Amino acid sequence: MSSKNAETLTILYLIESAGRGGAETVVVALASPRGKRARVGSLRQGWMWDRLSESEVACEVLSYHPRSDMILAYRIARLIERTRPDVVHCHCFTMNVAGALGSAIAGVPSIGTVHGAIYDLDTRPRRMAYRLAGKLHKRVVTVSNYLREELHRRASVALEKTEVIYNGVPLGDSNGGSKRIRAEFELSGADFVVCSVGMLRPEKGHADLIDALALARKSVPGMRLLLVGDGRCKDELRCRAQDLNLNGAVQFCSSQGDVPSILDAADVFALPSHTEGLSIATIEAMTRGRPVVVTDCGGPTEIVTHEVTGLVVPPCDSKAMAEALVRMAGDSTLRACLSANGRARALESFSLDRMLRRYDRLYEEVAA
List, for residues 39-83, the tens digit of each pLDDT value: 999 999 988 999 999 999 999 999 887 777 789 999 999 999 999
Residue 183 and residue 147 in one domain: no
- Verify that 199 and 160 share a domain, yes or no: no
Q: Is residue 284 part of a domain?
A: yes
pLDDT confidence of 3, banded at 50, 70, 90? low
By DSSP bridging, strand 87-91 and strand 11-15 are parallel
| pLDDT higher than 70, residue 119 | no
Residue 49, classed as helix, strand or coil, is: helix
Specify the DSSP element, H or E, that contains 41.
strand 38-42
Task: For 87, list phi and psi in degrees, rounded to 5.
Answer: -140, 145
Tell me, yes or no, whether 337 and 196 share the same domain.
yes
User: In the chain, what is the straight-line distance between the N-terminal and C-terminal CA atoms, in Å?
Assistant: 6
Instruction: Determine, yes or no, domain membership for 100.
Output: yes
- Name 144's Cβ contacts closer than 8 Å, sequence gap at least 6: 164, 166, 277, 278, 298, 299, 302
> Are residues 197 and 337 located together in one domain of the fold?
yes
Residue 85 in contact with residue 66, Cβ under 8 Å?
no
Q: Within this chain, do residues 345 and 356 fall inside the same structural domain, yes or no?
A: no
Q: Judge whether 63 lies within some domain.
A: yes
Q: Please check whether residues 345 and 360 belong to one and the same domain.
A: no
Does some domain include residue 61? Answer: yes
Cα-to-chain-centroid distance, residue 167: 8
132 shares its domain with 277? no
Confidence check: pLDDT of 283 > 90: yes
Residues 187 and 159 in one domain: no
pLDDT tens digit sequence for 76-103: 999 999 999 999 999 999 999 999 999 9
Pairing of strands 58-61, 139-142: unpaired
Write out the residue range of the structural domain in which residue 73 sits: 6-168+351-367
Question: Please, which pLDDT band fits residue 1 given cuts at 50, 70 and 90?
Answer: very low
Element (H or E) spanning 59, and its range? strand 58-61
What's the structural domain count of the chain?
A: 2
Residues 137, 262, single domain; the answer is no
pLDDT tops 90 at residue 206? yes
pTM (two decimals): 0.91
Question: Are residues 106 and 214 located together in one domain of the fold?
Answer: no
In three-state secondary structure terms, 157 is coil
In a shared domain, residues 149 and 41: yes
CATH of the domain at 58: 3.40.50.2000
In a domain, 80, yes or no: yes
Residue spans of alpha helices (H) in 331-351 = 332-349
Structural domain contains residue 360: yes
Interstrand relation of 87-91 and 192-197 (parallel, antiparallel or unpaired): unpaired
Q: For residue 1, tell me if it sits in a domain.
A: no
- In this predicted structure, the answer to whether residue 256 has a pLDDT above a threshold of 80 is no
Residue 173 falls inside a structural domain:
no
Percent of the chain clearing pLDDT 90 (strictly above):
83
Same structural domain, 159 and 198: no
What is the reported pLDDT for 170?
87
